[in-house]
Amino acid sequence: MIIIGLGNPGAEYEGTRHNAGREAVMKFGQKMGFGDFEFDKKSQALVATGKVGKGKATLVLPETFMNKSGAAAGKFAKGAKKMKNALGKAIKAFPDMIIVHDDLDIPLGKAKMSWDKSAGGHKGVASVLKALGTEAVFRIRIGITPASAKGKLKKLDHETIIDNFIVAEFKDKEADELKSVIKKVVDCLEMAVSDSPERAMSEYNAEFNK
């Protein structure tokens, strides 16, 4: 299993909203005892490999900036399979790859695992899907947008998103919410590798929204 955590490299981006996926994959590696990530020159990414139960996983943290994440992902795009989508059309697919990333359209403290979905405006994801040549890949989307008590997301204009929000650090209370959902993401990844991504998606999409 290839697991790619999207984010921006460098200490100045640690703890920011746009790095939620990268942080989750790092936490997964720590829990599984994968050891230190090492820089791979060919892919321009930090890489760690280890066992999860009877399965194996390679964790990838692109060291390019978010909108060029596909450069690293493309180097690990092996084992493509021909599958059928929901409409019965034959497609190129990567069922042994999971992309983990932040998502503005999901409330902070929640997450969702998806298969064969569009990038939804996320430039990092768009870069990866372009490099893979398909949307047929598993993704775990981590919510980063505060919501009201009724679950309504705060509306953000484009300038606010780019300049003041996605590269901003979480507030203390928000960081606690992120920590809680990342723990679930880590458990989901463990099941995806040791059992199957399909089972993990089935079980954890309900768990993510409790």
Positions marked catalytic: 18
- Report yes or no: 110 and 208 within 8 Å, Cβ to Cβ: yes
Residue matched to tokens 């280890």: 50
Radius of gyration of the chain (CA): 16
- Report yes or no: 40 and 62 within 8 Å, Cβ to Cβ: no
Phi (first) and psi of residue 136, to 5 degrees: -80, 80
Count how many residues are written for the chain.
210
- Report yes or no: 99 and 91 within 8 Å, Cβ to Cβ: no
User: What is the crossing angle of helices 172-194 and 20-32, to 10°?
Assistant: 60
Q: Which one, of 69, 114, 10, 185, lies nearest residue 60 by Cα?
A: 69
Separation in Å, CA 58 to CA 1, 49, 51? 6, 4, 9
